[in-house]
Amino acid sequence: MRTLNLLAATAFATALSVSSAFALTVGFSQIGSESGWRAAETSVTKLEAQKRGIDLKFADAQQKQENQIKAVRSFIAQGVDAILIAPVVATGWDAVLKEAKEANIPVILLDRTVDAPQDLYLTAVTSDTVFEGKVAGEWLVKEVGDKPCNIVELQGTTGSSPAINRKKGFDEAIAGKANLKIVRSQTGDFTRTKGKEVMESFIKAEGGGKNICALYAHNDDMAVGAIQAIKEAGLKPGKDILVVSIDAVPDIFQAFIAGEANATVELTPNMAGPAFDALDAYLKDKKEPAKWIQTESKLYTPADDPQKVYDEKKGLGY
């Protein structure tokens, strides 16, 4: 009996050591947790690593680049197989990326890119914010057809790159459609409070909202605020005024369930999935990935079982 136990234990230990010889160790330097989306990105990354049996070493930089650089150096010292970085700023990465390259550790950038020579990192996985705006615009073009439609736009923080790009993409999508016109465009700073306040003024400036056919908000939070303003003005959001926005945070799915919003474009928190796939192909088959991997910008509408998506997303720490 004892021999059997010993045998089993030895076999188990051997199996363990074999599996750990194949398992990858990946270091992940995250910016911090400044938003719900960021928290979701962290938990999805951990989930994706778990799914693939990857040993993920996680470092929270609390919005400081020096912490990120320290974390990357410690990953190099530990001899990890690969490093994921969600860079807090674009500049100042050359030195530490060179150190990783000299140690033969591939680096993958998540969610944002850096100003460094491209040969210093394996690839960057990011969303195309111009494309997000375009998807939103194309949905609206299809939805209204040939009917005339006055659009009001809630922009993100003035001068921020997602605000500029999401506007650009939307404008491209509705260009050439004479029946679609942006009549008012103002910044709502990506927040609910400003989204609500600005929408109140849009409604008053456009004949009590009767001249408005659709709202395009650069993020869901502003849309959620605006929906309240529309309701308080005695109109029905989702019917009297169509609501399309970007991000796909859980609360917009609640609005879907209540019939108060019509579409959202997902900024997926799953940047790690494509990153791990590219890493796998690179390490196993020496397949060099493209320098930029674009994540899917999926369109959600109330037809996509919002309750289910809401429950799934709520568990991710948004």
In this structure, what token pair is assigned to residue 43?
């938990």
35 binding another protein? (CB under 8 A): yes
41 binding another protein? (CB under 8 A): no
Q: Taking contact as CB under 8 A, which single stretch among the options 88-96, 130-138, 153-161, 168-176 is the one that binds another protein? A: 153-161
d(CA 83, CA 285) in angstroms, rounded, equals 19
Residue of 136, 106, 126 whose CA lies nearest to 269: 126
205 binding another protein? (CB under 8 A): yes
E strand or H helix at 197 = helix 192-205
Judged by CB under 8 A, the residue of 115, 232, 288, 296 near another protein is 232
- Can you name the residues that pair with 110 across neighbouring β-strands? 125
113 binding another protein? (CB under 8 A): no
Q: What are phi and psi of 176, to 5 degrees?
A: 85, -5
In this structure, what token pair is assigned to residue 310?
């809401």
Q: Taking contact as CB under 8 A, which single stretch among the options 8-16, 101-109, 196-204, 282-290 is the one that binds another protein? A: 196-204
25 binding another protein? (CB under 8 A): no
Judged by CB under 8 A, the residue of 13, 20, 23, 34 near another protein is 34
Q: Taking contact as CB under 8 A, which single stretch among the options 87-95, 104-112, 220-228, 293-301 is the one that binds another protein? A: 220-228
Sign of the C-alpha dihedral, residues 271, 37, 69, 164?
positive
Amino acid, res. 115: D
Q: What are phi and psi of 152, to 5 degrees?
A: -110, 145
Give the nearer residue to another protein in terms of CB position, either 239 or 291.
239
317 binding another protein? (CB under 8 A): yes
176 binding another protein? (CB under 8 A): no
Judged by CB under 8 A, the residue of 27, 28, 31, 36 near another protein is 36
247 binding another protein? (CB under 8 A): no
d(CA 138, CA 174) in angstroms, rounded, equals 7
159 binding another protein? (CB under 8 A): yes
Taking each helix axis as running N to C, give the angle between helix 306-314 and helix 250-257, from 0 to 180 degrees, rounded to the nearest 10: 150
In this structure, what token pair is assigned to residue 161?
């790159």
CB contact at 8 A, 71 and 86: no
Q: How far is the CB of 231 from another protein (least distance, A)?
A: 9
CB contact at 8 A, 235 and 241: yes
155 binding another protein? (CB under 8 A): yes
237 binding another protein? (CB under 8 A): no
What is the binding site for another protein (CB under 8 A)? 33-36, 39, 155, 158-159, 184-187, 189, 191-193, 196-198, 200-201, 204-205, 221, 224-225, 228, 232-234, 251, 254, 317-318
